[in-house]
Amino acid sequence: MPNRDGTRVIAVEEHIATEAFLRIAHGLDVVPGDETEMGLMRTVENSPDLRTRLVDLDARLREMDALGQDMAVLSLNPPGVQPYPAADAVPLAREFNDALAAIVRRRPGRFGGLATVAPQDPVAAAAEVERAMGPLGLHGIMINSHTGGRYLDEPEFAPLLAAAEANRAPIYLHPRAPSMLAAYREYGMPFAMWGYQAEAGLHAMRLILSGTLDRYPGLTIVLGHLGEGIPYWLRRIDNRHAFTARTGGAAMSMPRLALTPSEYFRRNFVITTSGIDDPDVLELALRAVGADAIMFAIDAPYEDPVAAMAFLRETPLTDDQRAAISHRTAERVFTVAEADV
């Protein structure tokens, strides 16, 4: 479905749920430490307007048509299945992925899909990555940052990362409330205003500085919100990493890395515009990583799609930059090809 100005538009951080998922998930116990976040998310998911926007995909398509948006890469509303005990989370992830794959099969030209997995059980998560990228025909996976305060650089998650690399599954590393919640509890800080980007940026930096990307050099990690602040800091990160390794590395248990931090960021990471319709920040990101590492995203249903589409169309860009951001990078990263509707 060509966009009305001739440029295909794919948005890649577009959240949904199903009534079946919400009915089951809202009846589950939450693991200790995740109660604050899940209290908010269940309130959001029970809000009539937001619930409708999450589950009504016919309305989503009508909105996309009105905007001139050709495709949405769908993902489960965060934080997915990660706040639940593994015994509940593993089958719930499978059931949602089956439903998501059916949605994508019905409208392959309009919807792609990112599978959800349960890192609580890394072996089961690895099997689900293989199933998602194989029989289900999905386009990657979404992991909502930490799982029970644990991060993907930790050894227990090796099966999950190995499966993602072997199956060429991009990992969209989506924010959630910080694992170290105490300092964020007040003033509305745990969530999207501040805590989300701090948490996702922390997770990305752990993957870089731990040597994880030396062990899994073929991983592709996607960060929303124009890189969760990291592009702004790349020069200082390199400078201070070199200084710290030289002067205090032995005392701080710093792994020896094959590349500089910024080289990993440019090699292994792709960023999206979700939630940051700011031409100045996009200009910085273009200088830091280039248009071929940037994808358009709206962050539906939480951001204004009209504003996001206006930002994509009106921000001063070359034709090549706009094509890369609007569709070409997503086509490459998520292996979504144009299809007849």
This prediction's pTM: 0.96
Per-residue pLDDT tens digits for 100-131: 999 999 999 999 999 999 999 999 999 999 99
Q: State the pLDDT at residue 1.
A: 41
Q: State the pLDDT at residue 204.
A: 98
Q: State the pLDDT at residue 249.
A: 65
Whether the pLDDT of residue 281 is over 60: the answer is: yes
Question: Crossing angle for the helix pair 195-209 and 261-268, nearest 10 degrees?
Answer: 110
Whether the pLDDT of residue 340 is over 50: the answer is: no
| pLDDT tier at 247, thresholds 50, 70, 90 | confident
Whether the pLDDT of residue 2 is over 70: the answer is: no
Pick 338 or 247 by higher pLDDT: 247
Average pLDDT over residues 54-68: 97
| Residues with catalytic function | 299
Per-residue pLDDT tens digits for 8-48: 999 999 999 999 999 999 999 999 999 999 999 999 999 99
Question: What HEC string does the chain produce?
Answer: CCCCCCCCCEEEEEEECCHHHHHHHCCCCCCCCCHHHHHHHHHHHHCHHHHHHHHCHHHHHHHHHHHCCCEEEEEECCCCCCCCCHHHHHHHHHHHHHHHHHHHHHCCCCEEECEECCCCCHHHHHHHHHHHHCCCCCCCEEECCCECCECCCCHHHHHHHHHHHHCCCCEEECCCCCCCCHHHCCCCCCCCCCHHHHHHHHHHHHHHHCCHHHHCCCCCEEECHHHHCHHHHHHHHHHHHHHHHHHHHHHHCCCCCCCCHHHHHHHHEEEECCCCCCHHHHHHHHHHHCHHHEECCCCCCCCCHHHHHHHHHHCCCCHHHHHHHHHHHHHHHHCCCCCCC
Whether the pLDDT of residue 280 is over 80: the answer is: yes
Q: Within 10 A of 9 (CB to CB), how many other CB atoms are there?
A: 27
Average pLDDT over residues 60-87: 98
Average pLDDT over residues 76-82: 98
Per-residue pLDDT tens digits for 173-206: 999 999 998 999 999 999 999 999 999 999 999 9
| pLDDT tier at 250, thresholds 50, 70, 90 | low
